[in-house]
Amino acid sequence: MEFLKNVRINIIGHRKLFYAISLTLVIISAIGLVLKGGPNFGVDFKGGLLLQIKTEPPAEIEKVRSVLGSAGYKAEVQTFGKRGEFILRFPSENTTAEAIKEVLETGLASTISIERTEMVGPSTGRDLTMQAITLVLISMLLMLVYIWFRFDLRFGAASVIALFHDAIIALGIYTMLGREFSVPIVAALLTLIGYSINDSIVVADRIREKLKNFGKAIPLGKIEEIFNSGVNETLSRTIITSLTTLIPLITILIFASGTTIFDFALILTIGIIVGTYSSIGIVASLVVDWYKRSTKREKA
């Protein structure tokens, strides 16, 4: 069995279209992020107290809200998992789980069991935000250097631009879906960066191989064609690989809802789809344009 056999889609020729799509997606994601006031930082980053509780008999969410509200707590209440299970978020870490349990048990007339607590002091949260940003930037920089060393600066820069593109769109869609930004999401973004660069390198590698046949004198008129066949020849591999990675991620989305890896799988699913698209439609195109411009300037 084989799909995408001997395909010849003129991808590089339509690169303006891909640029337009990408630009639109990036702008929408950026606007979404701005409108939402940045990623929806969780307790890990903002500091505060998170409780996951189970009420028995199951209580209604409005009731939980009103009981907490009338006791003077500023809490964000969200249903989670099965009926009667909630996640409560308190902006201040000075509240204790026991005090809240008591308030809820009296107010709801249900038994409350605390399934999970997370308390993070505000300074720890700030440390973590810095750590996350540093992690992402360090790895991008290291990758740029590696590709520069193994291929050339043009591929390195184009791949890193594509990485930013993937990360922003994934984060934007994820945030617009109202999901929370927690520590595992940083790990997911880093994986995404690693995964997405993987695709770009496979394409770059094939193009490098093709360019070798020409030695130093790369015919400018043929460059689009060479790049395009490189992208096309790796097309079936790129798509199959994404598919085999998406399969287990989607099984997580189906089976592991209500656990903390659901969000993790969600952002990876979005990211891998976007990353696959960008390594097909954007990376090689950017390099082609760069080649054309620099050669034009050299001639002039």
Partner 1 sequence: MRSVLYRGLVVIFALGISLWTLWPTFRFYTMTAEEKQNLSSEYLSKLKKRSLSLGLDLQGGMYMVLEVDKSKIPEDQAKGAEDRALEIIRNRIDQWGVAEPMIQKTEEGKIIVQLPGVLERQRAEELIGKTALLEFRLVADQQILEQTVRNVDETIQNLWKDDTSMVYLQDILVSYSGGLAVKESDVENFKKIIDLPEVQNILPQGYEFLLGKAETSEEGRIRPVYLVKKEPELTGANIKTANHTIFQGQDPAYAGSPIVELHFDKKGATRFAFITGSNIGKRLAIVLDGVVQSAPVIEERIPTGDAIIRGNFTIDEAKELAIVLRAGALPAPIHIVEERTIGASLGKDAVEKSLKAFVFGFILVIIFMIIYYKASGLVATLALILNLIFILAVMVALKATLTLPGMAGLILTVGMAVDANVLIFERIREELRAGKNPKMAVDAGFGRAMITIFDANLTTLIAALVLLRFGTGPIKGFGTVLTIGILSNFFTAIFVAKIVFDYFVGVKRAQKISI
Residue 161 in contact with residue 278, Cβ under 8 Å?
A: no
Query: Site map for partner 1, 172-201, x if CB under 8 A?
Result: -----------xx-xx--xx-xxx-xxx-x
**Cα 189 from Cα 191, distance rounded (Å):** 5
Q: Which stretch binds partner 1 (CB under 8 A): 58-66, 171-179, 237-245, 287-295?
A: 237-245
Give the footprint of partner 1 on residues 134-153 (CB under 8 A): 134-135, 138-139, 142-143, 146-147, 150
- Exactly one of 251, 292, 294, 295 binds partner 1 (CB under 8 A); that residue is 251
Q: How far is the CB of 290 from partner 1 (least distance, A)?
A: 20
Q: Which stretch binds partner 1 (CB under 8 A): 27-35, 103-111, 241-249, 285-293?
A: 241-249
Give the footprint of partner 1 on residues 100-119 (CB under 8 A): 113-119
105 Cβ partners below 8 Å, 6+ apart?
Answer: 111, 112
- Exactly one of 76, 209, 214, 293 binds partner 1 (CB under 8 A); that residue is 209
The CB density around residue 267, as the number of other CB atoms within 10 Å, is 25
| CA dist list (Å): 133 to 83, 129, 161, 268, 280 | 36, 6, 17, 18, 27
| CA dist list (Å): 48 to 23, 66, 101, 120 | 37, 20, 16, 5
DSSP helix/strand/coil, 58: coil
Size of the site for partner 1 (CB under 8 A): 71
> Looking at beta carbons only, is 28 or 252 nearer to partner 1?
252
SS3 content of the chain, % helix, strand, coil (to 5): 70, 10, 20
Q: Which stretch binds partner 1 (CB under 8 A): 22-30, 34-42, 65-73, 234-242?
A: 234-242
> Looking at beta carbons only, is 28 or 157 nearer to partner 1?
157
Task: Based on the shown chain and the rule CB under 8 A, indicate whether residue 28 belongs to the binding site for partner 1.
Answer: no
> Looking at beta carbons only, is 4 or 21 nearer to partner 1?
4
Task: Based on the shown chain and the rule CB under 8 A, indicate whether residue 133 belongs to the binding site for partner 1.
Answer: no
Pairing of strands 111-120, 48-56: antiparallel
Longest dimension (CA), the chain: 82
> Looking at beta carbons only, is 129 or 245 nearer to partner 1?
245
> Looking at beta carbons only, is 224 or 263 nearer to partner 1?
263
> Looking at beta carbons only, is 251 or 294 nearer to partner 1?
251
User: For the chain, how far is it from start to end, CA to CA, in angstroms?
Assistant: 51
